[in-house]
Chain A
Amino acid sequence: MNLNLIKKSLSNPLALIGFLIILFIFFVAIFAPLLSTYDPDAIDVKAILLPPSFEHLMGTDGLGRDVFSRMLYGARISLLVGFVAVGISTFIGILLGAISGFYRGWIDIVIMRMVDVMLSIPTFFLILAVIAFLSPSILNIMIVIGLTSWMGVTRLVRAEFLSLRDREFVLGAQTLGANDLRLIFIHLLPNSLTPIIVSSVLGVASAVLVESGLSFLGLGVQPPQASWGNILTDGKEYIQFAWWLSFFPGLAILITVLGYNLFGEGLRDALDPRKAK
């Protein structure tokens, strides 16, 4: 990709902060086994609901598990779900958007009406309903989130293709004798990549949120496996006297989503020629 673009977007201080947050979460997730002070699933009945201290940086929960260690492993889930779900939705979006924008005609109308229908369904409740039928597992969550969030990318890719399709360099390639696949993958797609990347980064933020919401409702990552969402659920029973159980996962979700949004918007501004200085 365009290295210049990343450099340019990082010159915006807020985008830089977002980027550092994302880097930090990656770091934490990758080195979770090294950084964690306890086994995240180990129950210790002698250490139930301890407040944050040097021994337990973020306290312990109702089963005496170390919240800090659980948070570290939760970061893995959050990243995994975010990226895989967005990967799925971006793949579908590029495929449908490319077909729609390249071939136009009736297939475009069909795909765009599909998008309209999907957009008119409250996604979160659709996901809830589907997950309730399937068994809740990380894999199912990733797939279902991916399958319900491709509409934005589809519209974006279609719009890019529509505007690029009649540009002279595409006509030029067509005159050379390029077939449809070549036009799409060598000429159109590489030139629509940057807005797709921006929307994917923003998409990760909403996937992280949906995963937390699902886990909070018990339809996401199943205990004992830790996820920010289900740590939050555990915390809600004790919220009056063990604030740390709700505070840290809430903060983590907030900061992560903020990080992706800041970075994504920084990228978008860097892309916008009208904002170029």
Chain B
Amino acid sequence: MNEIIFSAVNLNKTYKQNDGRFGIREIKALENVSLHLRSGSTLAIVGESGSGKSTLARCLLQLLPLDSGVVYFEGKNLIGLDKKELRQIRRYLQMVFQDPFASLNPRLKVGQIVGEGLVIHGLGSASEQQSKVIRMLERVGLEESDMEKYPHEFSGGQRQRIGIARALVLSPKVVVCDEPVSALDVSIQAQILLLLKELQSEMNLSYLFISHDLRVVRHIADEVAVMFQGKIVEQGQVVDIYNNPNNEYTKNLLKAIPGNRVAY
């Protein structure tokens, strides 16, 4: 077993919502969520919409403030870091987003989008950055000439490749994939999953893979955590969970896979 590279302990997050008449209604998006990601492996978080998966992704990367809990990356607590330290460490923690149409700035060229991380962290000279961007684009299946194009000139699948290139050009260690294929056609889904898997072994990436689709998860994950109403209800190796679910909710989720008629 590899060492744990990224972990979260007892995360809590509550959304406060004004309910109109009498003050504030509280919605628990995360309740005592803990998880551990091993270096080079993939941990999938599954659950229905509204179960808190995306909130979890954003809280883990410190894009949303947590109410309580601790997040460790390589033994370092991310919660106590000041803004500047956090920005520097972000280089190693990247994210691939769900919606390939909303995740790329429509006013920047692809070259600028993919190269932005290198510019921010001042990695290499301008020409080194350029060649790095080109190599990354070619690796994800795009061409050098695409650098001068704008995101709207690409299809959903290609845009997702751009999003992957943007995240991976920094050679991160942990990549949070927030439903990276759920907005894509099934045929494209397979290509993107394959690409993610190849890149994982090439670059020794650790994935936190968020999905509602158990078929996708079975392909890509080593471990699974099942989320329901802000809590992790079951956690374990993919094989164990798929063959031997303990929790009622997990059983229901598995039953809901189209074409899966096995009775649990």
Interface of A toward B, CB cutoff 8 Å: 167-169, 171-179, 182, 186-187, 190-191
Contact = CB atoms under 8 A, between A and B. Distances in A.
B107 A175 contact: no
B121 A175 contact: no
Nearest to A180: B83
Nearest to A175: B95
Nearest to B92: A177
Interface string B92-117: 01110111001111111000000011
Q: Give the 10 A-B residue pairs with the shortest CB-CB distance, closest first.
A: A168-B103, A177-B90, A176-B117, A168-B97, A177-B87, A168-B102, A169-B105, A190-B107, A175-B95, A177-B120
Contacts of A179: 83, 87, 120
A175 B116 contact: no
Given A168-B98, A182-B120, A175 B93 contact: yes
Contacts of B99: 168
Interface of B: 58, 61, 63, 83, 87-88, 90-91, 93-95, 97-99, 102-108, 116-117, 120-121, 163, 166-167, 170
A168 B58 CA distance: 11
Contacts of A169: 102-106
A183 to B, nearest CB: 10
Nearest to B151: A169
A176 B90 contact: yes
B88 A172 contact: no
A175 B120 contact: no
A186 B108 CA distance: 9
B230 to A, nearest CB: 20
B116 A178 contact: yes
A169 B88 CA distance: 19
Contact of A191 (B61, B91, B107): B107
A36 B108 CA distance: 47
A182 B97 CA distance: 20
A248 B90 CA distance: 64
Contacts of B121: 177
A174 B116 contact: no
A6 to B, nearest CB: 16
A173 B107 contact: no
B95 A173 contact: no
Contacts of A182: 120
Contacts of B166: 172, 176
Contact of B106 (A171, A177, A178, A191): A191
A174 B86 CA distance: 11
